């Protein structure tokens, strides 16, 4: 019995030792495994800049979002593996880039190449979401389906800028009908409108020409020359060849423009110079089982594309692309909208995420993904991208760019490209909505005058600010009018006016704005 008990005790001690070793081995393996998992999911990013720089490091998907400073030339960060958007800012210069980290504590080295912001000039106030700049004047509207086109009249030394829908004319021409589309050339801006049978005896379309230099409006008929005096019921007012009950959209194409209906099976091409002999281009139907009622047409240079979203419950969307020949590009996801934004380049949005694709091959090749984007369009060799920081000129090949115009206190409203420049419309406190032309060929030499106006708007003595060109009109806040016995009239208090205007003059002087470039005018001195 004693021997049996000793034997059992011996076996028990061995079992306990084996169990301890097993647990230790399992724990060790688990620690090693978890360490490898952690290591595989983290990397270093080493950022460098020649000057003190603020940098925002944002991981796409939102898992990591940190703003910090580079003070000693370099900054090393431990970050989760993934794609990052880096935004560097130093004074009036910036750099924007997309980098990808691979995990396993690999180190990505990145040096910021800071570029200054670009030149800006004030070209209008309270612009509609669709703006058309001609080089001399700004036109704007509430986009298609609106009946009014506004001309933004430049400010002078005696009059602030204002808008009018009464365009100047030599023959009595007035814009009528619902705006369907606008197309701008070097010399004129064409506006296509629709008059419904409910408004007139019969429905028809009209094409108007607005002179880019002075805003003068006239008709561009297809069947006869305009008469000496304008009459909306004359044949010269009718743009022939279009279905009277159809609604068309207008887009630039080759040496003219395209007209297309909502769900296009074909488009009509007009050369701007003559408008004669329009050409009908048949569009191939999609091959996949997509939603035919989601068709969205876009064009760029000599290319046409129609994007179809996936059907409910479907996973595939399709782009029918026409450039000499027809290609069908199929995507494994569906976008909210997708349109051509360059030669063989597609911009596709899913909420605020922008996907860029190259269309030169037989399958779409992803160029990059950018998040938190409000607007994107081709601009020269870059993509103009607008996010919460401002307007970025982004090169999809190098995945680098810079902020051409920073918002910094303004809220973004709308944007349009103009040649190799762009128009941005922003909202500010007391400035309302202002439109600016950003010249990408020049560096800003105004000391960010638009941001100076935001500083000025903080004054309680100012009611509103209206800039255009070199003129900045200021409406003072003078309170309520009161009866003046000496003049037997109602007016603002002279003491209040003096104190208010003295305060405004001091505030303007403190801005440090170059008085040779900008003139500040008090509307009630």
Q: Do residues 282 and 267 touch, judged by C-beta distance below 8 A? A: no
What is the structure's pLDDT at 16? 58
Tokens 């983290």 identify what position?
42
What homologous superfamily is domain 42-116 in, according to CATH?
A: Carboxypeptidase-like, regulatory domain (2.60.40.1120)
What is the structure's pLDDT at 17? 59
What is the structure's pLDDT at 42? 92
Integer Cα distance of 361 and 113 in angstroms? 32
Integer Cα distance of 358 and 329 in angstroms? 11
Task: Kindly give, in sequence order, each residue whose CB lies less than 8 Å from that of residue 112, ignoring residues fewer than 6 positions away.
Answer: 47, 48, 49, 53, 55, 70, 86, 88, 95, 97
Integer Cα distance of 49 and 72 in angstroms? 9
Tokens 């561009």 identify what position?
220
- Work out whether strand 317-323 and strand 325-331 pair parallel, antiparallel, or are unpaired: antiparallel
Integer Cα distance of 331 and 345 in angstroms? 15
Q: In what order do the strands lie in the sheet with 42-48?
A: 74-80, 42-48, 107-111
Integer Cα distance of 26 and 260 in angstroms? 68
What phi and psi values does residue 376 have, to the nearest 5 degrees? -150, 135
What is the structure's pLDDT at 365? 96
Q: Which is nearest to 312 in space by CA: 294, 325, 300? A: 294
Helix/strand/coil (H/E/C) assignment for every residue in 231-300 = CCCCHHHCCCCCCCCCCCEEEEECCEEEEECCCCCEEEEEECCCCCCCEEEECCCCCCCECHHHCEEEEE
Q: Do residues 193 and 141 touch, judged by C-beta distance below 8 A? A: no
- Work out whether strand 519-522 and strand 471-476 pair parallel, antiparallel, or are unpaired: parallel
Residue 502: strand, helix, or coil: helix
What is the structure's pLDDT at 69? 96
Tokens 């600010």 identify what position?
465
* CA dist 236 → 114, 229, 231 (Å): 56, 11, 8
CA atoms lying within 13 Å on the CB side of residue 176 = 18
Integer Cα distance of 376 and 474 in angstroms? 34
What is the structure's pLDDT at 227? 40
What is the structure's pLDDT at 13? 58
Q: Could you report the per-residue pLDDT of 223-241, keeping only the tens digit for each?
A: 444 444 445 555 567 888 8
Query: Which residues in the chain show pLDDT less than 50?
Result: 223-230
Q: Cite the residue boundaries of each domain of the chain with CATH code 2.60.40.1120.
A: 42-116
What is the structure's pLDDT at 229? 43
Question: 333 burial class (0-12, 13-18, 19+ CB within 10 angstroms)?
Answer: exposed
């Amino acid at each position: 019995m004693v021997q049996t008990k000793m034997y059992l005790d011996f076996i028990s001690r061995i079992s306990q030792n084996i169990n301890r070793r097993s647990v230790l081995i399992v724990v060790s393996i688990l620690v090693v495994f978890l360490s490898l998992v952690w290591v595989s999911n983290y990397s270093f990013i080493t950022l460098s800049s020649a000057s003190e720089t603020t940098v925002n490091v944002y991981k796409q998907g939102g898992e990591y979002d940190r703003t910090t400073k580079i003070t000693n030339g370099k900054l090393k960060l431990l970050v989760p593996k993934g794609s990052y958007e880096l935004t560097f800012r130093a004074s009036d210069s910036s750099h924007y880039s997309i980098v990808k980290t691979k995990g396993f504590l690999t180190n990505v080295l990145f040096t910021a190449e800071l570029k200054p912001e670009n030149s800006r000039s004030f070209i209008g106030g309270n612009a509609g979401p669709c703006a058309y700049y001609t080089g001399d004047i700004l036109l704007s509207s509430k986009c298609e389906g609106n009946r009014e086109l506004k001309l933004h009249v430049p400010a002078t030394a005696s009059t602030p800028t204002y808008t009018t829908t009464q365009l100047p004319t030599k023959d009595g021409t007035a814009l009528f009908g619902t705006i369907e589309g606008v197309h701008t050339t070097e010399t004129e801006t064409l506006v296509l409108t629709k008059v419904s049978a409910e408004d007139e005896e019969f429905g028809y379309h009209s094409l108007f020409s607005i002179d880019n230099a002075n805003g003068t409006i006239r008709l561009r008929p297809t069947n006869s020359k305009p008469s000496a005096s304008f009459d909306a019921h004359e044949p010269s007012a009718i743009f022939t060849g279009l279905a009277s009950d159809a609604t068309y959209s207008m887009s630039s194409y080759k040496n003219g423009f395209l007209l297309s209906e909502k769900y296009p099976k074909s488009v009509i091409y007009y050369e701007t110079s003559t408008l004669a002999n329009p050409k009908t281009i048949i569009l191939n139907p999609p091959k996949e089982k997509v939603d035919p009622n989601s068709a969205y047409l876009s064009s760029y240079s000599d290319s046409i594309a129609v994007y179809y979203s996936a059907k409910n419950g479907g996973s595939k969307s399709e782009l029918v692309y026409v450039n000499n020949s027809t290609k069908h590009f199929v995507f494994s996801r569906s976008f909210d909208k997708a349109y051509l934004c360059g030669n063989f380049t597609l911009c596709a949005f899913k909420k605020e995420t922008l996907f860029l694709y190259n269309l030169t091959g037989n399958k779409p090749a992803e160029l990059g993904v950018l998040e938190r984007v409000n607007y994107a369009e081709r601009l020269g060799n870059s993509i103009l991208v607008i996010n919460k920081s401002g307007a970025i000129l982004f090169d999809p090949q190098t995945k680098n760019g810079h902020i051409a115009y920073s918002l910094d206190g303004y809220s973004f409203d709308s944007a349009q490209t103009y040649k190799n420049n762009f128009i941005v419309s922003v909202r500010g406190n007391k400035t309302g909505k202002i439109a600016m032309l950003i010249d990408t060929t020049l560096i800003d030499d105004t000391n960010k005058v638009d941001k100076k106006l935001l500083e000025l708007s903080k004054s309680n003595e100012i009611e509103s600010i209206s800039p255009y060109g070199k003129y900045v009109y200021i409406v003072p806040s003078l309170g309520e009018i009161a009866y003046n016995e000496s003049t037997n009239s109602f007016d603002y208090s002279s003491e209040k006016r003096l104190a208010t205007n003295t305060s405004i003059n001091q505030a303007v002087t403190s801005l440090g704005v170059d008085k040779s470039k900008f003139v500040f005018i008090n509307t009630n001195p």
